[in-house]
Amino acid sequence: MISVFYKDNLENLVKLLAQHNVKIYSTGGTQEFITSLGIPVVAVEHLTNFPSIFGGRVKTLHPKVFGGILYRRENKEDIATAQQFEIPPIDMVIVDLYPFEETVAKGASPEEIIEKIDIGGISLIRAAAKNFQDVLVISSKEQYQMVEMLLSQQNCATSLQDRRYFAAQAFDITSHYDTAIFHYLNQTNEKKIFSYKESIRKGKQLRYGENPHQSGFFYGELEAMFDQLNGKELSYNNLIDIDAAIALIDEFPVHQSIAFAILKHNNACGCATASTAHEAYLKALAADPVSAFGGVLVCNATIDKPTAEEINKLFIEILIAPDFTEDALAVLKSKSNRILLKRKSVNLPTMLYRTTLNGVIGMEKDLKTETEQELKVVTQIAPTAQQIRDMLFAMKIAKHSKSNAIVFAVDGQMYASGVGQTSRIDALKQAIEKAQRFGFDLRKAAMASEAFFPFSDCVAEAHKVGVKAVIQPGGSKNDVESIQFCNQHGMTMVFTGIRHFKH
């Protein structure tokens, strides 16, 4: 039985079946295609003695079709029933599914989308996959060449192991298809069904997980997002760091400024903007050249030779950019294990999921970025235009740092950060210590906190090192204490009203 939407690479497989005198049943356009090859084909209507009806919605849904697929070849009762009702055996089913996801993606009308919900095709696939003991199911055009090779090598025969493998592939395809339909209908319903269903058909095993004793996997199409130009295979930890790097660099559209960030363990240890990638890199590196060793680097602009030569002085794991000049690549490829990723434009998911306890939790990504218009000045002294720019820049980095987090920044350059601390005051002290260690004067720095200050101790500690501008969400019952301290000590502070916890 052959009934497919996509006929790419089907010709050779059909010809191979004909050479082995396989009787072919088919429908509609597929039947016409096979006929055009000069190969005998029997219309399904001749088998069922029933026409295609309802505009083609019903054509293969018939006992003679499904009986021929499902009857058990070793079961005497099934054999007798097949003989009684003159049901011929169907030993191979080549059927694909209507392009539902593609139809949704192109913005088709609801009527067009509904018509691309396959009924007969998916039923044929499931029936053949269920009876893999006797039937081979081919459920995607990607399988045609593999099956052609298999049948050529085995004299048009298959083993039970072969059939079981293709049955598993079939249910992989049908479950993915049903998941896509569920999501479409659920997204367009006023009343949502809170059922967790995700399906990614492509995946691969990684070298290991977070640690060598843990297995790791990636499900998705990395090739759609990156061209890997150099380096070893990406690891689990690499992928986590790359995800963090992309999230941070996307805060800085290249049409506004060239930005460079350096990350370790998902946190920025350097981030800067400048008029060139070379300058932005050097400013980012200055924040913490020690932590930058073995880091993940990301830029929103093309990497040129001068930038590559600076980067080449440092051991790094990964460099991500939208493009590289040829002479830059020549420099960067001097280290064979250095991973170079050329980023492509692709839509990223807007939801986050995580296995937790005996279930899964999910939430929307934190895609909120504060603007000047949203800031609320809560102190007597209002910030200058430069302080506002510095505060917003620092908050972008704090947003992508592990809580509790404090970030210092001046003129498009991160000076230091304290991240992942169990108290906010400890995060602040860590940031101050790092800034001082690398020679930064904090008297002009803006300080950002991704969550509110529970007490006035943070602004008091910042005042000791000369900080004059503070940005935080606000919302603590003790906000007034921090505000009063700032007013008493000539500091300006703004509230954003938006918390950016990151765990």
| Rounded Cα gap, residues 471 and 447, in angstroms | 6
H/E stretch holding 60: none
d(CA 207, CA 52): 51
User: Torsions phi, psi of 406, nearest 5?
Assistant: -130, 135
CA distance 503 to 501: 7
Contacts of 52 (CB under 8 A, 6+ apart): 27, 28, 44, 45, 58, 59
Please say if 463 is a catalytic residue: no
- Give yes or no for a cis peptide into 238 (omega within 30° of 0): no
222-236: string of b/e by CB count within 10 Å (b at 16+)? eeebbeebbbeebbb
436 exposed, middle or buried (CB, 10 Å; 0-12, 13-18, 19+)?
middle
Secondary structure of 480-503 in HEC code, one letter for each residue: HHHHHHHHHCCCEEEECCCCCCCC
The two beta strands, 295-299 and 267-274, are unpaired
Q: Strand, helix or coil at 204?
A: strand
**Helices (H), strands (E): how many in the chain?**
18, 21
Q: Which of 116, 265, 333, 335 is catalytic?
A: 265
Handedness of CA 65, 66, 72, 76 (dihedral sign): negative
Q: Are the C-beta atoms of residues 24 and 46 closer than 8 Å to each other?
A: no
15, 130, 176, 333: which one is catalytic?
130
β-bridge pairing 339-343 and 226-230? antiparallel
Asked whether the beta carbons of 354 and 474 are under 8 A apart, the reply is no
34 in Cβ contact with 41 (< 8 Å)? yes
- Structural tokens at position 183: 């999501």
What Å distances lie between residue 314 and 97, 139, 246, CA to CA? 51, 50, 21
Residue bearing tokens 């935080």: 472
- Are 415 and 440 in contact by the 8 Å Cβ rule? The answer is yes
Contact 310, 290 (CB under 8 A): no
User: Are the C-beta atoms of residues 288 and 270 closer than 8 Å to each other?
Assistant: yes
Q: 86 is written with which tokens? A: 């003159």
Q: Using DSSP bridges, classify how beta strands 295-299 and 258-264 pair: parallel, antiparallel or unpaired.
A: antiparallel
Whether 130 is a known active-site residue: answer yes
What's the sign of the alpha-carbon dihedral 108, 112, 118, 121? negative
Q: Catalytic residue numbers?
A: 130, 265
